[in-house]
């Protein structure tokens, strides 16, 4: 490496390399929201009543009388007969508590313009837009799709939906037109809020064109609202059933919409995520349990305080943004940051520039970002004063100890705890992590399950593995933030998550997150990664089946197998092994068509890093593709057992091809 981060890297490595456990800094512990180690025992002894602690962070319209109803397990209900409104909890009550002038959202556009919404501003705009949505015909329980980049109108639309009891379904703006259509059709969603475009590395991207194409694939009528983000930079036209966001808000300026009283178990939102099959899963989250859990984990793990400036540098299009940019922090009444663009624009110090400028207290990001920062070198963070930071966090994929230590030293100055938080779209909030004011941190290991969470690592038969052995992660007890079902597909909900390790006859239900893990003598869990056909590219969760079906849709492709291969920055990269149809060449032009095909069906994040043409795929005698071998090849690892293959000879041929391509 010739980069100028070399010297400090070497020094850091020498000093920190040996250290595999870090105590929480005393100054942090002193002020932490949660610092009494007794909390673990307290939650265990007092379960499920312990979860009142989470529910108490919210204002309930009608108090619940029962915390957990497990009579229809695994269809659990939390705080079932309580009622509340999420928008009221994230906005109105902070105003009533005398904090109307505090900043709720601080937003910075990629070109540098800024916007601040106080809680009063947020109240005004959320109410006006809620009134507008009603006028468009949105009723309680109608699913509203939000297909927007990181603009303030996205959380505003989410909260406006919540106010009138309409569940939202946010579709990541980087997803393709086809992906939008699939999700709108699956949810029967008749309303769409989108925007004209946004900035990426200085370019104005046209988003509306993509939304329009998506709408053509929707099989029912849709009312569409368009936010004008780019003004003159990108002219757009509104067609029939299209409405301008600003016009709607202006028309309803000053109107107040009474927050709709929702039952705790009413759906707050749907979030589509990737699974083993090609069809995305509509994860259903509820108003009471989810919100209580997002607020509780923001309080206990992220140590969020109302006076903080808090920044989760994720995209709201994923669950991390829902729970930890919008619902958790706003329920706690803090100031939450949003940044529109990429971390390397105009230069590679943009994140640190923002931390410095806004005096960010708590920063939460993904390991893929940390690996990129590390690669770019320490000179970028060193340009800025990062001393406002009190706590750092990571989420989305395993973090290797080296990246953890780099983050701890060069961003946190060895004075901020780092929480490595394991959770999923389905869990609603964090599940496994140290509590920053209590537990020692072990780089590379997320930590113990949170208080009240019962997780373990088991073997294929469900017995706990010994310390140090790899096994499967399971969750043995329900928790308030859990998904309630897969939208309109209770059967799939059971078969995906509850079949593997439960014993329905004994009414014993065990949640299987489909991750592999290890556990150490202290009960710290290291999550190793997915054991299903899901890969994790730059912290984005993608289904290999979805990518495969996109590739097979390209004329000239007969068969395809997709696996994740190791990638220095992205964590995993997409490797596509492709068999061509008779009469087609596996050439550059087909390769490009395949890449475009994936881009079109899913989005640029899913584009293959390598397309490997092969006359055959390694298959078992029963005809199953041996993905494990394809993964070994992608990772340039020693090849596993090939003796059960029908065609063992192809494996070496494919491996040679991949090695050849990497050297090119």
Task: For 79, list phi and psi in degrees, rounded to 5.
Answer: 50, 35
Sign of CA dihedral 319, 325, 330, 332: positive
Rounded CA gap, 29 and 655, in Å? 51
- From 424, 413, 368, select the one nearest 570 (Cα to Cα): 368
Among 397, 496, 548, 631, binds ligand WTA (CB under 6 A): 397
Q: Which is nearer to ligand WTA, 387 or 495 (CB)?
A: 495
The answer to the question of residue 422 lying near ligand WTA (CB under 6 A) is yes
Q: Which is nearer to ligand WTA, 95 or 602 (CB)?
A: 602
- Residue 246 CB, shortest distance to ligand WTA, in Å, is 32
Q: Which is nearer to ligand WTA, 207 or 540 (CB)?
A: 540
Q: Which stretch binds ligand WTA (CB under 6 A): 15-23, 90-98, 393-401, 555-563?
A: 393-401
Q: Which is nearer to ligand WTA, 196 or 514 (CB)?
A: 514
Q: Which stretch binds ligand WTA (CB under 6 A): 23-31, 478-486, 523-531, 557-565?
A: 523-531
Burial letters for 220-253: b for 16+ Cβ neighbours within 10 Å, e otherwise?
eeebbbbbbbbeeebebeeeeebbbbeebbeebe
Q: Which stretch binds ligand WTA (CB under 6 A): 5-13, 318-326, 330-338, 606-614?
A: 318-326
The answer to the question of residue 298 lying near ligand WTA (CB under 6 A) is no
Centre a 10 Å sphere on the Cβ of residue 642 and count the other Cβ atoms it contains.
16
Sign of CA dihedral 505, 511, 514, 520: negative
The answer to the question of residue 316 lying near ligand WTA (CB under 6 A) is no
Among 421, 454, 538, 544, binds ligand WTA (CB under 6 A): 421
Among 78, 123, 358, 423, binds ligand WTA (CB under 6 A): 423
- Residue 467 CB, shortest distance to ligand WTA, in Å, is 19
Q: Which is nearer to ligand WTA, 349 or 496 (CB)?
A: 496
Q: Which is nearer to ligand WTA, 352 or 511 (CB)?
A: 511
Number of residues forming the site for ligand WTA (CB under 6 A): 22
**Contact characters 235-274, ligand WTA, x per CB under 6 A:** --------------------------------------x-
- Residue 537 CB, shortest distance to ligand WTA, in Å, is 11
The β-bridge partners of 572 are: 566
Determine contact, residues 87/269, Cβ cutoff 8 Å.
no
Q: Which is nearer to ligand WTA, 91 or 314 (CB)?
A: 314
Centre a 10 Å sphere on the Cβ of residue 51 and count the other Cβ atoms it contains.
24
- Residue 395 CB, shortest distance to ligand WTA, in Å, is 5
Q: Which is nearer to ligand WTA, 236 or 541 (CB)?
A: 541
The answer to the question of residue 365 lying near ligand WTA (CB under 6 A) is no
- Residue 525 CB, shortest distance to ligand WTA, in Å, is 9
The answer to the question of residue 456 lying near ligand WTA (CB under 6 A) is no
Rounded CA gap, 483 and 487, in Å? 10
The answer to the question of residue 12 lying near ligand WTA (CB under 6 A) is no
Rounded CA gap, 539 and 535, in Å? 9
The answer to the question of residue 541 lying near ligand WTA (CB under 6 A) is yes
The footprint of ligand WTA on residues 623-652 (CB under 6 A) is none
- Residue 657 CB, shortest distance to ligand WTA, in Å, is 29
- From 534, 316, 525, select the one nearest 420 (Cα to Cα): 525
In DSSP notation, 336-405 reads EEEE-S-TTSSSTTHHHHHHHHHT-SEEEE-HHHHHHHHHH-THHHHTS--TT--EEEEESS---HHHHH
Rounded CA gap, 482 and 285, in Å? 7
The answer to the question of residue 535 lying near ligand WTA (CB under 6 A) is no
Determine contact, residues 524/484, Cβ cutoff 8 Å.
no
Is the peptide bond preceding residue 272 cis, with omega within 30 degrees of 0?
Answer: no
Q: Which is nearer to ligand WTA, 64 or 423 (CB)?
A: 423
Q: Which stretch binds ligand WTA (CB under 6 A): 39-47, 339-347, 526-534, 648-656?
A: 526-534
Helices H / strands E in the chain, number of each: 23, 29
Among 163, 530, 607, 627, binds ligand WTA (CB under 6 A): 530
Q: Which residue's Cβ has the minimum distance to ligand WTA? A: 425
Question: Helix, strand, or coil here: 638?
Answer: coil
Among 67, 312, 446, 629, binds ligand WTA (CB under 6 A): 446
Determine contact, residues 625/618, Cβ cutoff 8 Å.
yes
Sign of CA dihedral 251, 254, 258, 262: positive
Rounded CA gap, 542 and 278, in Å? 10
Contact footprint for ligand WTA (CB under 6 A): 273, 318-320, 395-398, 420-425, 446, 513, 515, 527, 529-530, 536, 541
């Amino acid at each position: 490496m010739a980069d100028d981060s070399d010297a400090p890297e070497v020094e850091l490595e020498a000093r920190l390399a040996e250290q595999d456990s870090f105590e929480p800094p005393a100054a942090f512990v002193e002020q932490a929201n949660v610092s009494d180690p007794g909390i673990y025992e307290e939650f265990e002894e007092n379960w499920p009543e312990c979860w009142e602690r989470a529910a108490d962070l919210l204002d309930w319209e009608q108090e619940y009388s029962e915390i957990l109803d497990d009579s229809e397990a695994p269809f659990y209900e939390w705080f079932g007969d309580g009622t509340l409104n999420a928008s009221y909890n994230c906005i109105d009550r902070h105003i009533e508590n005398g904090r109307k002038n505090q900043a709720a959202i601080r937003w910075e556009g990629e070109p540098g313009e800024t916007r601040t919404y106080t809680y009063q501003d947020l109240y005004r705009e959320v109410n006006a837009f809620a009134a507008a949505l009603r006028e468009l015909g949105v009723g309680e329980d109608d699913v509203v799709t939000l297909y927007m980049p990181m603009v303030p109108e996205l959380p505003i639309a989410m909260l406006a939906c919540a106010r009138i009891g309409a569940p939202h379904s946010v579709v990541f703006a980087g997803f393709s037109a086809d992906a939008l259509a699939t999700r709108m059709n699956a949810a029967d969603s008749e309303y769409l809020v989108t925007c004209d475009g946004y900035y990426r590395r200085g370019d104005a991207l046209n988003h509306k064109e993509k939304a329009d194409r998506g709408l053509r694939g929707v099989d029912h009528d849709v009312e569409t609202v368009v936010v004008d983000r780019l003004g003159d930079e990108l002219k757009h036209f509104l067609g029939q059933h299209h409405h301008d966001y600003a016009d709607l808000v202006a028309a309803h300026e000053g109107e107040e919409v009474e927050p709709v009283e929702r039952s705790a178990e009413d759906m707050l939102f749907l979030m589509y995520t990737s699974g083993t099959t090609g069809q995305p899963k509509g994860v259903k989250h509820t108003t009471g349990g989810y919100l209580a859990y997002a607020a509780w984990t923001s309080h206990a793990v992220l140590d969020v305080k109302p006076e903080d400036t808090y920044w989760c540098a994720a995209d709201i299009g994923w669950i991390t943004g829902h729970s930890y940019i919008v619902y958790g922090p706003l329920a706690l009444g803090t100031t939450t940051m949003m940044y529109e663009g990429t971390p390397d624009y105009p230069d590679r110090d943009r994140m640190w520039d923002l931390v410095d400028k806004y005096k960010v207290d708590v920063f939460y990001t993904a390991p893929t970002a940390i690996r990129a920062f590390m690669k770019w070198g320490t000179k970028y963070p060193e340009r800025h004063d990062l001393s406002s930071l009190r706590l750092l966090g990571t989420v989305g994929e395993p973090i290797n100890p080296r990246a953890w230590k780099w983050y701890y030293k060069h961003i946190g100055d060895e004075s901020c705890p780092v929480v490595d938080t394991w959770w999923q779209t389905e869990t609603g909030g964090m599940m496994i992590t140290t509590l920053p004011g209590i537990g020692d941190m072990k780089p590379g290991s997320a930590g113990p399950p949170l208080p009240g969470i019962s997780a373990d690592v088991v073997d294929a038969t469900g017995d706990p593995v010994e310390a140090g052995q790899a096994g499967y992660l399971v969750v043995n007890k329900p928790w308030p933030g859990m998904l309630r079902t897969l939208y309109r597909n209770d059967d799939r909900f059971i078969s995906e998550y509850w079949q593997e390790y439960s014993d329905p006859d004994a009414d014993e239900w065990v949640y299987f997150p489909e991750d592999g893990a290890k556990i150490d003598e202290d009960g710290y869990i290291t999550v190793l990664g997915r054991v299903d056909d899901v890969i994790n590219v730059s912290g984005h969760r993608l289904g290999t089946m979805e990518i495969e079906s996109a590739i097979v849709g390209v004329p000239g492709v007969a068969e395809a197998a997709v696996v994740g291969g190791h990638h220095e920055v992205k964590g995993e990269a997409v490797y596509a092994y492709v068999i061509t149809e008779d009469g087609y060449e596996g050439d550059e032009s087909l390769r490009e068509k395949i890449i475009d095909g994936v881009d079109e069906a899913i989005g640029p994040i899913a584009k293959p890093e390598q397309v490997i043409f092969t006359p055959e795929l390694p298959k078992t005698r029963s005809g199953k593709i041996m993905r494990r071998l394809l993964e070994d090849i992608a990772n340039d690892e020693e090849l596993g057992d090939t003796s059960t293959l029908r065609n063992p000879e192809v494996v070496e041929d494919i491996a040679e091809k991949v090695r050849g391509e990497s050297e090119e």
